Amino acid sequence: MNTIKHILSRYTAFLWALLKPLGVWGVFVIAAMDGAAIGLPMDVVVAGYVYQNKSLFLVYALLAAAGSAVGSSVLYLIGYLGGEAFLRKRMSEQRFARIHSSFDKHEFWALMFPAMLPPPTPFKLFVLSAAVFEMNFGHFLLAIFAGRFIRFFLLGLLTIRFGPEFVNVGGRILSEHWGWMLAAVGMGIAIWLAVRRKRARRGEVKLSEEDTSATA
């Protein structure tokens, strides 16, 4: 355990040494690298930047979200050129069909919601899925940017309130209660979609009644 902590400490110090000359743009660079399939501790980096300069937490959230969207374009290209075989090898046919269906019905939300969630969410699988199922590229960038911005905005607020150690505590809680959190998010999405459909139906009924009264 001490060896692992020592390695992580050395790795973090090395990472900060690389980012320091880049100033605020270090957040964008590391987010782009992380988005391009290079696994990096984004939450730790963003929390560290926010803790050092709390007044710029909104700028850091914007840069991290933009970097993640730009970097994910690499995975989009890989998925578009031949990612279906890769996905089919790593998930069951039922799960593949379920994700395909979610992208067909609500492609923006099918990518934005996973973008909001921290590890261990398999976010890069959703990015590849978006490309395989030929999601509109503009919508792809916007969904990732929106989801990641919400994630890092909230992370910034929590860091200001509780300090950077919140990342470690929060990560441990998420890993222990991952199933419950995923179920809660899924329930929230289902409720939101149900409300949205109900409002759409009310709008259709209202238009139908207006058409009927107009013809009468």
pLDDT tens per residue, range 167-194: 654 444 444 444 444 455 555 555 655 6
3 state SS of 118: coil
What is the enclosing helix (H) or strand (E) of 127?
A: helix 123-132
pTM of the model: 0.71
Tell the burial category of 148 from Cβ atoms under 10 Å away from its Cβ (0-12, 13-18, 19+).
buried
**Angle CA(108)–CA(114)–CA(117) in degrees, nearest 5?**
140
**Position 156, amino acid:** G
Q: How far is CA 23 from CA 29, 155, 170, in A?
A: 10, 20, 26
pLDDT digits (tens, 9 = 90+) for 7-31: 556 666 666 667 777 788 889 998 9
- Of 67, 164, 72, 175, which Cα lies nearest the Cα of 121? 175
Q: pLDDT, tens digit, for every residue of 44-66?
A: 888 888 888 899 999 999 999 99
Backbone angles phi, psi at 177, to 5 degrees: -125, 35
**What confidence tens digit (pLDDT) does each residue in 102-146 have?**
888 888 988 998 899 877 778 888 898 888 888 999 999 999 999
10 Å CB burial of residue 13 (0-12, 13-18, 19+) is exposed
